[in-house]
Amino acid sequence: MPKVKIKINDVEYEVEQGLSVLDAAESVGIEIPHFCAHKYLKPAGLCRMCLVEIKGARKLQTSCTTPVKEGMEVYTESDAVVKARKEILELHLANHPLDCPECDQAGDCLLQKYYDEYGLYERRFDIERTHFEKDVILSDNLILDRERCILCQRCVRFSEEILGEKLLAVFERGSRSYIATYNDEKISTLYSGNFAEICPVGAITDRRFRFKIRNWFLIKKESICPLCERGCNIYVETPKDRPYLKNYERLQRISSRDNPEINKSFICDRGRYELFSLEENRIYKGISEMEEVGWQKIKKILKEHLFTIETVILSSWMTNEEIDLALSLFKDYLNLKNIYFWGNPAGDEDEILIKKDKNPNSYYLEHKKVKRLNSKSRIDFKGSTLIFGDFFRENEFVLKKIEDESFVILISPYIPSFPEKINLLIPSANFFEKEGYYTNFEGRIQEVERIFENDKVKTEFEILEMIESILRKK
């Protein structure tokens, strides 16, 4: 990409040609306050908060709509800019209800942030604030507080530019303007949670997160969404470890993490809301013949049955490293021929993010030449079988195909759907309790951080190491 030389606050920088002044400044680490501008939306120049001084220009310019030019000299913090910023903030806050103490966005709100940085004025308006509806239900997941809205139109542009649908618009004019859906219909999209995330203030908030916990008590950990093969980048938000927060659930919110190559800064509602079910139906104890068993007993049973295994069914929720170790043990060392993986049934797909293949690591398994099973596979399993379970627990098909006299070992974080078919259940870590790498549908390898510690269970990798130690001591 060709570069141009510009000066920002008297310091020379080389920036990409074609960028707006706002994006160019950001690319060299200089933040220009803004509400309406968004990395993945077209510039609108609506909020005026990003005004900057450009040498030679008669008036201050909106940095989001002004492209950089060779030799341009920009001032982002001059007296004129700071004065304008303060006045614009005063206008944005003229009718604002100032209900930060009960607003879910508090601590993460651009109005609050910029008021602290540039506002700090005495209110000069001596008029009654304009009142609007404060609890408009936009969808099952969203609520709109029109009094908090600053009319930046990010929500309108997100729906038109990213979703390709006109779901919202600005109605009326001047100080009576407000955001609404057409005919007051509820928003219906698989991407609804992004409206709350893209709103820079607390106007659109997430009903599922409402009044749950304050933003400043949350820690964001990096992960990916495993619910389809795209592997959208996400933050898993969990409460800070504080004595009086002891009773909070460890998983509080899933939000998007910017990755221009994979999901930009958006995720679908499945990733945002359905990942909570990964925390349900957990099992923390081993079970053999309907009795609870500890790790010593599990090892003993494994020793008795490992060498009778003829079929191994891997899971597409295993990491690259777990798959590699499993293949080195069962394919290379034991020379087993019947190694498959269970592919969760294909689902819907769209042109935005959602992929048909609902498996997080099927690309890697297929790349390693592991055959995919589905409900049409014509296979009958013989001999003892080792199954790596996954979140969907839809292994009914697999279990039905296994001969009744076979010894079945299931390694799974979840209570099995058909416990009567399992001879040994080994409890394993769920997706949030392990770390490693996954490969998405384009072959991009992505790292997953361990979000939660859980010493009651072992990761599939640790269980495979246990199996390895048994095999090699034979």
Provide the binding-site residues for ligand SF4, judged by CB under 6 A.
149-155, 179, 199, 201, 203-204, 225, 227-228, 230-232, 263, 267-268, 270-271, 353-355
Length of the chain: 474
Q: How far is the CB of 59 from ligand SF4 (least distance, A)?
A: 25
Contact 258, 249 (CB under 8 A): no
Q: Can you read off the two tokens belonging to residue 421?
A: 């078919």
Q: Which is nearer to ligand SF4, 105 or 238 (CB)?
A: 105
Q: Which is nearer to ligand SF4, 135 or 332 (CB)?
A: 135
Q: How far is the CB of 259 from ligand SF4 (least distance, A)?
A: 11
Q: For residue 471, give the nearest of 297, 325, 320 by alpha carbon.
A: 325
Q: Which is nearer to ligand SF4, 225 or 309 (CB)?
A: 225
Q: Which is nearer to ligand SF4, 81 or 149 (CB)?
A: 149
Q: Which is nearer to ligand SF4, 180 or 334 (CB)?
A: 180
Cβ-proximal residue to ligand SF4, closest one: 271
Q: Which DSSP letter does residue 309 get?
A: E
Q: Which is nearer to ligand SF4, 201 or 451 (CB)?
A: 201
Q: Which is nearer to ligand SF4, 33 or 286 (CB)?
A: 33
Strand partners, 168: 181
Q: For residue 433, give the nearest of 290, 226, 267 by alpha carbon.
A: 226
Q: How far is the CB of 218 from ligand SF4 (least distance, A)?
A: 19
Return d(Cα 208, Cα 196) in angstroms, integer. 11
Q: How far is the CB of 204 from ligand SF4 (least distance, A)?
A: 5
Which residues in 41-72 are b (16+ Cβ under 10 Å) and which e? bebbbbbbbbbbbbeeeeebbbbbbbebeeeb
Q: Measuring CA to CA, how many Å separate 411 from each of 228, 253, 417? A: 22, 28, 13
Contact 381, 399 (CB under 8 A): no
Return d(Cα 336, Cα 327) in angstroms, integer. 9
CA dihedral (147, 153, 158, 160) positive or negative: positive
Q: Which is nearer to ligand SF4, 44 or 471 (CB)?
A: 44
Q: Which residues contact 364 (CB under 8 A, 6 or more apart)?
A: 320, 323, 438, 439
Q: How far is the CB of 455 from ligand SF4 (least distance, A)?
A: 29
Q: How far is the CB of 350 from ligand SF4 (least distance, A)?
A: 9
Q: How far is the CB of 151 from ligand SF4 (least distance, A)?
A: 5
Q: How far is the CB of 354 from ligand SF4 (least distance, A)?
A: 4
SS3 271: helix
Q: For residue 156, give the nearest of 34, 19, 44, 269 by alpha carbon.
A: 44
